[in-house]
Chains A and B, each alone.
Chain A
Amino acid sequence: MTGDAKAALQQIRREAARRLEARRDGRARVAVQVSHCSISVGADGVAEALSACLPDAAYVVQAGCDGACFEAPKVITALPDGGNRRLINAGAADAAAVLAGPHAAGAAWPEDFYSRQHRLALDGCGEIDSEDIDDYVAHGGYEGLARALSMTPGEVVEEVKASGLRGRGGAYFPAAMKWESARSVPSDRRYLVVNAEEGEPGIFKDRHLMEGVPHRIVEGAIIAAYATGASEAYLYINAEAGLSARRMQLALEQAADLGLLGGDVLGSGFGLAAEVRRGAGGYVCGEETTLLNTMEGYRREPRLRPPFPTESGLWAKPTVINNVETLANVPYILATGAEAFRRVGSGAESGTKLISLSGSVRRPGVVEVPMGTPIRDIIEGIGGGPVPGQTLTGAAVGGPSSGVIPESMLDIPIAPGRLHDTGVILGAGGIIALDGRAEVLDVVRMMAAYNAAESCGKCTPCREGTPRIVDALDRIASNGGSEGDLEELRYLAHVVGAASLCGLGQAAGTPVVSALHFFGNEMSAVR
């Protein structure tokens, strides 16, 4: 069967190229970057206006946002003569400028923003037509899948193991080990769940991937399912991410039409059914076992582990749960080999990390950098430093399960696991640059209040402890608090962290601990 999958993909590629050529027909291709973020500043209106008023010499396609959210809405035009035009912060009235006008009005191409990145998962995002599988195939898509299908599942596991790929959802568990352990449990059926419940404040990278390169995730999911021996895949997508769900659904349908999903993937004999499911909000739903409860129709509460989902997951069957970004890296590893992936990143940790960059930066957005890149390079190099008139005071890294670090520590490189002994982690990769407008006490209170609100209530330490952390912070904010309050904060953070059932509670004290460690003087100076 080995050569069959590659031959089948060749055939698909030829047909895709033919269809694309017929569509292009010597016209200009106008790609409007339509995404959740750009729609909020009118990109859908721009796409509509362009479709309506462009002459016959051009056609409009919808791409995702390329990560440069600060330039949205953005339109990239490929002229028939090979030239490119780029329109940023476009309005519906700018249609004429797309074909004839100059480059972006008054803004130079922010070279730093792109040149300091290393784009594997985001490759082609913002240019590839996100609603057309042909465009992805022409971009080298599904090559990794064809190669995977020509190997045994065990060989695929070995390849990914050799690449050193770890889960990108925040826990950084080696991806191939999950696949292997689910595969080793005897069962009549196994499941793959794609965790796209991106519910962490300050994180928006999975959404960018799903909106921009949905087929890369489908491809990664099929490879993961093949390696695991899963026969059904569920894409569990955040309630807020309507556009992501729509594009992923479309991607699944298109893949099925071309024989990349279904009973016989690329003629290999391997079968996979896939389905989109929607979440209903809640940070804790991103936790693996909570996600399983949600899918089975129960309250959003975590389950005790063990058994781990790879032994007994969805409907008590072995289940692999992979994050969107993790899967988006898999096609590259299979297509180019583990060695190429290992060469990216720092010596110890291979690959790249998507960072959701926001807060006090001139160029907020989603960026992809090699593991080991210092946080300062991301904030100042790529992000362009603090907004005018402000100076950096620190950064909130890794969301409400992590903490805050001061400006002096921004030189630490990003890495899986702990960035500092206080429990500050990279997590899913959110970096919020802080400046003088943000009192650390307020930032920490916000994180603590979020954890308290999101606590599901199942276990007592988290349910009772998280609101008390907020209370203690409030006392400090209102009257400066007492030494006892600081003491209680430390104590609560310790107890909640040590005794809670799932990751939300276990990390709920980290913002407080890190803030007291780095900003203790400043916090008590509030009084």
Chain B
Amino acid sequence: MYEKAAPSGSRTTVGGAAGIGRPLTIRIVYNPPMRSERERSGGARPVTPLQRQRQSELRAALRERFPRQRGQLLPALHFLQHEFGHLPDWAMEVVGWYLGVPVSEVYGAATSYTELRLEGAGECLVRVCTGITCWMSGSSGLLETIASWLRKNPGGGVATVEEAACGFLCAMAPAVEVDGRWVGRATPEAVNELLPGSALP
């Protein structure tokens, strides 16, 4: 058992390969670290007992739901987003470890999908569709109105207002999504009913 680049390894030099004459250096790690240590070294930040508990809870949850196959990466990331509202770094690390996918590739995949969020939204996420039909139906004005209401009265929390490229509700334009609930034929008033603490001044 050895690991190529473990920091604590002792170094051994072995003879040159294929007679090139240049010594080849490899690192051999004796006494491979216990699994828990390895996991800990996989994370960039120090791991507190509470975080460690979170990690093992997540591992257990993954084990329950997903076979350990690379093809389960996207389903597992969906699961994280559903659980946490976004993809926390530590959770992506656990997923990578569990599925045997390098964390860099987990991150690479996660960043390439538009529906996956690396950062949590505010307490309330408002997405205003600004596709062609919605925009013709006045969604830009809607966006301005909602944003200005929320600026004045964020309802005690932090709201995020985004443009959405298309909510696939073109026949119900304009469309606005508030915390996962879409409102078709939207008016500022109808959207307001779903905002936290009713933002309408």
Query: In the assembled complex, which residues on chain A have CB atoms less than 8 Å from the CB atom of B130?
Result: 446
Query: CB distance A281 to B74 under 8 Å?
Result: no
Which listed residue (A285, A294, A358, A438) contacts B170, Cβ 8 A? A358
A70 touches B171 (CB 8 A): yes
Chain A CB within 8 A of B198 CB: no
Question: Which of A36, A41, A359 is within 8 Å of B136, CB to CB?
Answer: A359
Bound CA–CA A69/B182 (angstroms): 15
Q: How far is the CA of A297 from the CA of B70 in the complex (A)?
A: 5
Q: Give chain B nearest CB distance to A138 CB in angstroms.
A: 29
In the bound complex, do residue B136 and residue A203 qualify as a contact, i.e. CB atoms below 8 Å apart? Answer: no
Measured in the bound complex, the distance between the Cα atoms of B77 and A280 in whole Å is 9
Q: CB distance A280 to B184 under 8 Å?
A: no
* Complex: chain A residue closest to B115, CB-CB: A281
Contact A280 B114 (CB under 8 A): yes
**What is the bound-complex CA distance between A239 and B116, given in angstroms?**
10
Contact present for B74 and A36 (CB under 8 Å): no
Whether the pair B171, A278 counts as a contact (CB closer than 8 A) is: no
Cβ-defined partner of A278 (8 Å) among B75, B109, B132, B173: B75
Chain B residue nearest in CB terms to A456: B112
How many chain A residues have a CB neighbour from B under 8 Å?
58
Assuming the A-B contacts A69-B172, A282-B112, A282-B114, are A39 and B132 also in contact, with contact meaning beta carbons closer than 8 angstroms in the complex? no
Does B60 reach chain A (CB closer than 8 Å)? no
Q: Judging by beta carbons under 8 Å apart, are A41 and B133 in contact? A: no
Q: Which residues of B contact A241 (CB under 8 A)?
A: 168
A295 cross-chain contacts in B, Cβ below 8 A: 71, 74
B159 CB within 8 Å of chain A: no
Bound-state Cα–Cα, A396 to B166, Å: 15
B112 & A301 in contact (Cβ 8 Å cutoff): yes
Residue A300, interface by CB 8 Å:
yes
Output the nearest chain B residue to A404 by Cβ-Cβ distance.
B132
Whether A207 is near chain B, meaning CB under 8 Å from some CB there, is yes
Q: Are A240 and B115 in contact (CB under 8 A)?
A: yes
Q: Once the chains bind, are B185 and A432 in contact (CB under 8 Å)? A: no
- Asked if A72 meets B71 with Cβ closer than 8 Å, knowing A201-B132, A280-B114, A437-B136, the reply is no
Interface hub of B101, B105, B114 (most chain A Cβ within 10 A): B114
* Contact residues, B69-102 vs A (CB, 8 A): 69-75, 77-78, 99, 101
Kindly state the separation between the CA atoms of A202 and B77 in the bound complex, as whole angstroms. 27
A278-B75, A435-B136, A453-B165 are known contacts. Are A72 and B115 too (CB-CB below 8 A)? no
Q: Which of B78, B132, B166, B182 is within 8 Å of A40, CB to CB?
A: B182
Q: Is the CB of A297 within 8 A of B184?
A: no
The answer, yes or no, to whether B131 is at the interface (CB within 8 Å) is: yes
Given known pairs A36-B182, A446-B135, the reply for A202 and B170 (CB within 8 Å) is yes
Q: Which residues of B contact A41 (CB under 8 A)?
A: 172, 183-185
Q: For the complex, what is the distance from the CA of A380 to the CA of B166, rounded to whole Å?
A: 24
Residue of B nearest to A206 (CB): B168
Our pick among B108, B113, B132, B172 for the contact of A446 (Cβ within 8 Å) is: B132
Which residue of A36, A301, A453 is within 8 Å of B168 (Cβ)?
A36
Q: B171 to A69, Cβ gap below 8 A?
A: yes
Say yes or no: A202 contacts B133, CB within 8 Å. yes
A280 with B169: CB separation less than 8 A: no
Within 8 A of A (CB), among B134-172: 135-136, 165-172
* B195 within 8 A of partner (CB): no
- B133 contact from A278, A366, A432, Cβ within 8 A: A432
**From residue 176 to 235 of chain A, which have CB atoms closer than 8 A to chain B?**
198, 200-204, 207
Please determine whether B132 and A438 come into contact, CB atoms closer than 8 angstroms: yes
Check if B183 sits within 8 Å of A40, measured CB to CB.
yes
A299 within 8 A of B: yes
Q: Determine the distance from Cα of A358 to Cα of B169 in the docked complex, in whole angstroms.
A: 9
Interface string of A27-70 (1 = CB under 8 A from B): 00000000011011100000000000000000000000000011
The residue in chain A whose Cβ has the minimal distance to the Cβ of B70 is A297
Asked whether A515 is an interface residue with its Cβ less than 8 Å from the other chain, the reply is no
A358 touches B171 (CB 8 A): yes
B-contact 0/1 string along A435-471, CB 8 Å cutoff: 1011000110011001001101000000000000000
The residue among B71, B113, B133, B185 with the most chain A CB atoms within 10 A of its own CB is: B133
- Contact string, B21-55, partner A, CB cutoff 8 A, digits 1/0? 00000000000000000000000000000000000
In contact, A277 and B74 (Cβ under 8 angstroms) = yes
A37, B71: Cβ atoms under 8 Å? no
Query: Chain B, 105-122, contact with A by CB distance < 8 Å: what is the 0/1 string?
Result: 100110011111000000
A446 to B172, CA, bound (A): 19
Contact B71 A396 (CB under 8 A): no
Annotate A111-144 by CB proximity to B: 1 below 8 A, 0 otherwise: 0000000000000000000000000000000000
Q: Does A364 contact B (CB under 8 A)?
A: yes
CA distance A443 to B135 in the complex (A): 10
How would residues 259 to 291 of chain A score, 1 for a CB under 8 Å from any chain B CB and 0 otherwise? 000000000000000000111111001000000
Within 8 Å CB of A360, what residues of B?
136
Give Cα A160–Cα B166 distance, bound, in whole angstroms.
34
Partner of A432, one of B72, B101, B170: B170
Minimal Cβ-Cβ distance residue in B for A40: B184
Do B132 and A282 touch (CB < 8 A)? Answer: no
A37 near B172 with CB under 8 A, answer yes
B182 touches A294 (CB 8 A): no
**Any chain B CB within 8 A of the CB of A248?**
no
**A-B CB proximity, top 3 nearest:** A281-B115, A40-B184, A297-B73
* 8 A-B pairs with C-beta separation under 8 A: A69-B171, A200-B166, A281-B115, A282-B113, A282-B114, A300-B109, A301-B112, A443-B132
Excluding A357-B171, A364-B133, A453-B114, 6 further A-B contacts by CB distance (< 8 Å) are: A37-B169, A40-B172, A72-B184, A282-B113, A300-B112, A300-B113
